A and B are shown apart, each in its own frame.
Chain A
Amino acid sequence: DTEVTQTPKHLVMGMTNKKSLKCEQHMGHRAMYWYKQKAKKPPELMFVYSYEKLSINESVPSRFSPECPNSSLLNLHLHALQPEDSALYLCASSPGPQYQETQYFGPGTRLLVL
């Protein structure tokens, strides 16, 4: 089973709201990722967690705050977002962060910031 789940599927929020995106995998994978994808563009890496520790932050604005409560869960906390943050947010996981590891994507959360 190579399933990564994400909730919610869709989210509409105002610029003053606080919301969270959730990602879960039960494949025993030790690396989890957040990507942002705008229309007609490839996924853009935001954060990498390796063995529950943040290992990569691609200079993402502080209004995005990741959290990895345990090895199966990954959250992305959102606060004071801008309309240009509207995008498809993808979670992915891989068995490990090694260079040959395949990443499996969840279905994504489509976010609209008004």
Chain B
Amino acid sequence: QKEVEQNSGPLSVPEGAIASLNCTYSDRGSQSFFWYRQYSGKSPELIMFIYSNGDKEDGRFTAQLNKASQYVSLLIRDSQPSDSATYLCAVQGAQKLVFGQGTRLTINP
């Protein structure tokens, strides 16, 4: 079992809709969870971080964490073509950040 799992996609969402990205992790002791956005050929850019169970909202982005289910998600409301990118879920392990394989998201105008 991979430590951090994401559906690689591609996930295709119409413009203006809600994009839902999901991530599961195996280490029950994990405390910190991050979402990075990476455009093709660019470096990862931090979108959100979440430490506590529940929802955390920042503009059009909402991160959701459920530690009992070992599940973290990212919702993007009112999706825009500029949101088309690969989204990396990252979980803080014992000594390092563990990344999922990334989900490629395409927003269709």
Chain A residues with a Cβ under 8 A of chain B: 2, 41-43, 45, 48, 55-56, 88, 90, 97, 99-108, 110
Contact = CB atoms under 8 A, between A and B. Distances in A.
Nearest to A2: B46
Chain A at the B interface: SS class: loop
Nearest to A94: B97
Given A99-B32, A100-B32, 17 more contacts: A41-B101, A42-B102, A43-B44, A43-B99, A45-B97, A48-B96, A88-B43, A90-B44, A99-B31, A100-B92, A102-B46, A103-B34, A103-B97, A104-B46, A105-B43, A105-B45, A107-B42
B43 to A, nearest CB: 5
Interface residues of B, number: 22
Chain B at the A interface: SS class: loop
Select the residue from A41, A97, A103 with max chain B CB neighbours within 10 A.
Answer: A103
Interface of B: 31-32, 34, 36, 41-46, 49, 51, 88, 92, 94-97, 99-102
Given A88-B43, A100-B51, A105-B45, A45 B96 contact: yes
